[in-house]
Structure 1
Amino acid sequence: RLNYQQTADKAAADFRHAASLLPVDWDKTTAGKLTLGNNNQRINKIMALGYLGKNLLYAGSPLMNQESTGNATYNKEYCRQAAEAFAEALKLCDETGRYELASFDEYESLFYTHKQNNKINGLKEAIFQENLVEVSSRFRWNQIMDYRPKCLITSGIKVYPTANYVDYFGMKNGLPLDDIDSGFDKTYPWKDRDPRFYKDIVVDGTKCALNTKGNLAEDVQYASLYTGGTYRTYKDPEGIRSGYMMTKFCPLLINDWDGYLSGNIMVLSLMRLADVYLMYAEAVAMANDDIYAKVAGYDLTALEAVNKIRQRAGVDPIADKYLVNVDLFMGELQRERAVELAFEGHRFNDLRRWMLFLQYPYNVKLAVEFDRDMSVSDEDRYADPINNGKVQNWRYSTLIERKLSQKHYWLPFKRDDVNIYPEFKQNPGW
C-alpha cells in the first residue's frame, strides 16, 4: 500500500496531464460551440490546476507529511509545487477573466439564489460545483428547512453554528475578538464586526419572518436567541442551542407560507476562487518560511493573497503584530479560512491536516449565554439589532466535548477491504 505522498504523486501526474489537454474556456473551442451556454460545469484547465495545487498542498501539510515521513511539519517541496500550480491557475484567471472574485455586493449570490427562475448561484467565482441533478428541489424540503427553529419552520433537524466558531468572525478592523486592541465589547457584541458576520450569521433580535398571516408572535418574527428565548427553549433537535443561527445558504426572511420553500437554489462550490487565493498564500508562505514570498513569474505574495480576500469583504489587512513571523501569520490565515469558507465543507479537513483536530479549543462546541439588557426597548432592538443589541451576563457554556485520539485523524477502512490481502493494513487505531 502506498503512503499518502506516493499516492499524491500519482494524482498529481494525472492532474498535470489533464491540465495540458484541457482548454481554459470550452465556449471558445470548436467542440464547445456545439454546447454553447452549457459549458460552465465542464472540467477545464483551471479546475485541473486548482486540484493539482490542492492535492500537493494536502501532501505537504503536517498530518500527511507525518504519515509519509514521520515529520509532523510542512513539507517545503510539496508546498513549493502546490504554490506553483496555484500561481499558474491564478495567472490564467487574471489573463482570461474566466474566474474572478465577486463583488461584496453580490456575496449572497455566491451561495444561493431566491426566486430567480432557478438560476444557479456561484457567479464567476465558483470553479467547481457539486452535481446539478435535481437542483431545484433537493434542498427545498430538506437542508434549507433546518436553519430555523421549529417555531418558525415546522420540520427538520436544526443546524446552527456554534458560538466558538462564530467567534472566528473578528472585527472590521481586521483584529480577532481576543486581541486587546480589537474593540470587541461584550455589552454590544455584534457591533463593528467583520462584514461577513452580517452575511452569514443571525443574531438575537434579527427579523427572520414576514407576518403574512397577521398572527405570527413577535418572539417568532424576531430571533429570540437570548438565554431562555423562544428559539432556544424548544427541545433538541427542534431548537437553537448555541445562541446563533446561519443565513449563508438561504434568505434571512423565511417562513412556510411566503413562497420561500419553492424558490431557493443552493449549489455548493467545492472550489471557488477565494479558496484558491488562500491555499496559494499558505503554500507559498510555508514553502519559503516567508509571508512576503511569491512564485517566480507571479507577482503576488502570501500576505497580499490573504489581504485580497479581506479587502473584498471590507476588512482591514492583517495587522503588523501578526506579521512578525510565519507562525503568527498562519494563525490569521487559518482564521481567514474559517471565516471566508465558513460552513462550505473545508473545516474538517483543514483541522485534520493542520493537526489541530485533537486540541482545545477545536475539540469543544460552545454556546453563548446572555440576557437582553432591558434598558433597550424591544422596538429599538428589533429596528437595529446590531447597534441596539445591548446584552448583559455574556458567558459561554459547553455543548459537547469530543473525546478524540490520534486514530481520528484518519477514517477507518471497511473490514471487508482490509481483509482482501495481508499487506492492505487498517488505519492505525481502528
Structure 2
Amino acid sequence: MKNIIKLVVLVLLFTACDDMFDPALENNRGLDAMYNEPTYAQGILANAYILLPYSSAPQSDVATDDAVTNDNDNDYLAMATGSWTASTNPMSQWQGRRNAIQYINLFLANTDEVVWSKEEVINTMYNDRLKGEAYALRAVQMLALLKAHGGWTAGGELLGVPIVTEPETAESDFNLPRNTFQECINQIIADANTAMDLLPLDFGDISDGEIPSKYQSLGVTNAGDYNRVNGNHMRGRITGRIIEAVRAQAALLAASPAYNAGTTVSWEDAANFAADVLDRVGGPNGLATDGHTWYANISQIEGLASGVTPPEIIWRGDIGQNNDLETDNFPPSLYGNGRVNPTQNLVDAFPTVDGYPITDPASNYDPEDPYANRDPRLNDYIVVNGSTQGPNSEVIVTGIYADDKDGINQENGRSTRTGYYLRKLLRYDCNPNPEFDTEQKHYAARIRYTEIFLAYAEAANEAWGPTGNGGNSYSAYDVIKAIRERAGIGLENGDAYLESVKGDKDAMRELIRNERRIELCFENHRFWDLRRWNVANLNETARGIRIEDANGTYTLVDVESRNYADYMYYGPVPYGELQKWSNLEQNAGW
C-alpha cells in the first residue's frame, strides 16, 4: 500500500510538470489504461485508504463533557460553544467520504477488465480480494457519512445521504435526493456481506491444506499461489474480520434511540452482529488482558511486525515514529502544550476500586482525598494532581499552590484549564524537550475488540436484559464483568455493585454506558455516543477542579459552557450542497 501511494504521488508530480515539455504533454490518462496496469488500478483504490475516516488524535472529545482544549483557535471548541452551523462544521464528512466512494465506484466499475495476472486462477483471486476490499471500504465510508449527516427532517422523515454506487461522470445527475436512513443501512450491510464473501477473514500465509475450498475447486493446489495474493504482505488492509466489526457498528447505530424509530434494525440484530465478531475470540474469555492500555503496551508495540495487530485490536493504522501527541498534550514542564484537558465530569465517572460510583454511599469515596482507592483506569488515562508523567517520572502539580507552570491556568495558553492532563494515547518514554526530542512508535486503533464487546453489552441488555443472551453463550452482564475485572474493579468484593444491578435493565444500561465512556475515552467515540443515545449530557457544562493548597482544598469550577441546540443531535447537510442541489433536504433546525 505504501508503494502504491508513492506511485500515486509521483504520477501527480509528473502531471504537474507538463510545462517542461515542448510541446506540452497530455497527462490525463484514461481509465482504460488501468486494464493492463494493475498498479495503476490499485492506485485508484488506494485513494479510499488514504481517505479513511479515522484519527489518531482525540479531536472530537474536546467538544463533549469529557474534555476541553486550551487552544482558543480549535474548531471543535468553537463548535461546542455556539459556532456550529451548516457552513462551519468540523464534523462534516460529506466531501471526503463522497470523494472516497467515487474512487471506489470507479474501481468496481473497471476491476473485472483489469489483467491482474495472466494466470486465470491467480487473476480471479486478485480480483476477488480487491473487489472485496472495495465493497468493504465503501461500507466504512458510507457509515461515516451516515453518522455525520443522517437525521430527521422537518417533515418527520429519517434520511441518510444519497446512495451512489456507480462512478459519476460529467453527464451524471448530481441533483440527487437523500435516501432514507434505512436504505443507507441496508446498503452498508449489503456491501459488508458482499465483502465478507470475497475477503479472507485475515490476511496471512497458509499451507497447502488450508487453501479455501472455493479456490481449490478452481484448481489452486499450491499455497504459494494463494499467499501471493492474500499472504502476510497484505496485512494491514481491510479484511473479513474488520468488515464484520463495521457491520456491527452500523447495526448499533441504527438500533440506537436517536434512530430506531426510523429503522427496522432491532437490538437483537445489533447484538447478534457483534456476537459474530466476538465468537471468533471465544466471547468474554477472549478479552485481551492488557487491552485497556493498548497505547502504552510498549514491548508489544515495539514487537509488532508489519500489519500485525495485537490481541485487543481488530484494525489499526500504520505505526509511526514520532512524539506529536506528547508535544501536543504533555504538561508545559515537560515541553508540551497541554492541549487536551480531561474534565472533572469524566474524572467523576470513574468508580472506586470496589466498583461503586463515587455518588454511592457504599463507595467510601473521600472528597478530601479524591484520587485514592479509585478505578485504576483513572491513573492510566488521566494525569491528576501529584501523579507522574514523562520519561523521568516527574511529579505534575496542577494545583495553584506551587510555583509551577503546570497549575490550572498558570502557563498562558499551555497549562490545563481543568486541573487535569491527558495520559491516554501517550507514551511516557517520549521526550519533546528540544535537547532530546525523543520519538517512539505509535499507532491509531481504528477498531478495538473492547468497542465491539461494549456494543454487544449495550444491545444485549436492551434486547434480553442484563443476564439474557438470546441464544448466544454470554450476556451483557458477562461482558461487563470481564471488562471490569480486567481493569481491576471489584476484585476484593466480587464487584458487589455489578451484582446489585444485574437484575435491573435501566441500571445496567447506565453502567454499560459509563463503562463505554471510560474504556473508549479520547478515542473519538463520546460525541457520537451522546448523540445516538439522545441524552442531555451533550449540553453538560465542562467542569474542572481548583486545588488551593498541598493539603487538598478542592473547589469545583465551571470551565466551559456547551451551547448545543436540540436539533444538533443530528448533523447538517453542508449548506453549500443545498445551494447547488435543489433535491437535497436539510435536517430539521439547520
TM interval, short-chain normalised: 0.7 to 0.9
Distance of 2:297 and 2:440 partners within structure 1:
7
Matched, 1:328 2:507: yes
Gaps of 5+ in 2: 1-177, 212-222
Residue 264 (str. 1) matches residue 458 (str. 2) = no
Tell me if 1:167 matches 2:167: no
Corresponding position: 1:146 with 2:334: no
Cα shift at 1:301: 0.7
Q: 1:395 to 1:122 in 2, by over 3 A?
A: farther
- 2:278 maps to 90
1:378 corresponds in structure 2 to none
CA distance in 1, matches of 2:180, 2:431: 50
Select between 257-266 and 359-368 the one with higher mean Cα deviation. Answer: 257-266
User: What 5-or-longer segments of structure 1 have no aligned partner?
Assistant: 70-74, 212-219, 375-390
1:21 counterpart = 2:198: yes
Distance 2:516 2:435 in 1: 34
CA contact (8 A) 2:419 2:545 kept: yes
Supply the distance in 2 between the matched residues of 1:227 and 1:265 (Cα, whole angstroms).
34
Letter in 2 for 1:3: T
2:543 aligned partner? 366
Q: Distance in 2 between matches of 1:284 and 1:210?
A: 43
Tell me, yes or no, if structure 1 residue 125 matches structure 2 residue 312.
yes
8 Å CA contact retained: 1:175, 1:181: yes
1:242, 1:367 within 8 Å by CA — same for their partners in 2?
yes
TM-superposed deviation, 1:5: 2.4
Note if contact 1:110-1:123 (Cα within 8 Å) is conserved in structure 2: no
Q: For residues 281-303 of structure 1, give each alpha carbon's deviation from its aligned partner in whole angstroms, at most 9, with x where no partner exists.
A: 11122123x1112132x300111
Q: 1:59 to 1:236 in 2, by over 3 A?
A: farther
Residue 25 of structure 1: CA displacement? Answer: 2.4
Distance 2:461 2:303 in 1: 43
* Alignment match of 1:198 (pick from 357, 361, 379): 379
Q: Which residue of 1 aligns with 2:516?
A: 337
Q: TM-score, normalised by structure 1?
A: 0.80
CA contact (8 A) 1:102 1:124 kept: yes
**Aligned equivalents of 1:312 and 1:38: distance in 2?**
33
| Secondary structure in 1 matching 2:340 | coil
Partner of residue 397 from structure 2, selected from 200, 209, 224 = 224
User: What's the offset of the Cα at 1:112?
Assistant: 6.3
Taking the aligned partners of 1:348 and 1:310, their CA distance within structure 2 comes to: 23
2:53 is matched with which residue?
none
| CA deviation profile, 1:12-52 (whole Å, cap 9, x unmatched) | 11112222332222214646633644443232222111111
Partner of 2:561: 401
One-letter amino acid of the structure 1 residue matched with residue 270 of structure 2: A
What amino acid is aligned across from residue 426 of structure 1 in structure 2? Answer: Q
Instruction: Provide the secondary structure at the position in 2 that maps to 1:419.
Output: helix
* Cα distance, 1:48–1:410 mapped onto 2, change above 3 Å: same
Shift of 1:259: 8.5
Partner of 1:79: 267
CA separation of 1:223/1:326 partners in 2, compared to 1, >3 Å: closer, same or farther? Answer: same
SS at match of 2:544: strand
Shift of 1:255: 3.9
**1:243 paired to 2:416:** no
State the partner residue of 1:300. Answer: 474
Secondary structure, counterpart of 1:319 in structure 2: helix
**Higher mean Cα deviation, 114-123 or 364-373?**
114-123
What does residue 180 of structure 1 align with? Answer: 361
TM-score (norm 2): 0.60
Alpha-carbon separation, structure 2, partners of 1:187 and 1:122: 42
The answer to whether the Cα contact below 8 Å between 1:200 and 1:248 also exists between their aligned partners in 2 is yes
Contact 1:207 1:253 (8 Å CA) reproduced: no
- d(CA) in 2 for partners of 1:91 and 1:117? 27
How far apart are the structure 2 equivalents of 1:403 and 1:124?
40
Deviations 1:359-410 (A, max 9, x none): 2585211101223444xxxxxxxxxxxxxxxx2x323111011111122112
1:50 maps to 2:245: yes
Q: Could you say which residue in structure 1 is the equivalent of 2:584?
A: 424
Amino acid at match of 2:504: N
Q: Deviations 1:201-239 (Å, cap 9, x if unpaired)?
A: 21212233467xxxxxxxx94211113542124344211
Counterparts of 2:433 and 2:412, CA distance in 1:
24
Contact 2:539 2:562 in 1 (8 A): no
- The alpha-carbon deviation at position 107 of structure 1 amounts to 4.8
Cα RMSD between the aligned structures? 3.0
Structure 1 pair 210–127 and aligned structure 2 pair: CA distance change class (3 A): closer
| 2:227 maps to 1:33 | yes
> Secondary structure of 1:62's match?
coil
Separation in structure 1 between the aligned mates of residue 252 and residue 202 of structure 2, nearest angstrom:
25
Higher gyration radius (CA): 2
CA contact (8 A) 2:539 2:564 kept: no
- 1:348 equivalenced with 2:524 (yes/no): no
The 5-angstrom pairing of residues 102-121 of structure 1 reads 102-104=288-290, 107-110=292-295, 113=298, 116=302
SS in 2 for 1:262: coil
Question: In the alignment, is the contact (CA less than 8 A) between 1:174 and 1:315 conserved in 2?
Answer: yes
Is 1:281 paired with 2:457? yes
Distance 1:54 1:178 in 2: 32
Q: What SS is found at the alignment partner of 1:173?
A: coil
* Structure-1 separation of matches of 2:343 and 2:441: 25
Q: SS where residue 460 of structure 2 aligns?
A: helix
> More helix by proportion, 1 or 2?
2
Q: 1:116 to 1:128 in 2, by over 3 A?
A: closer
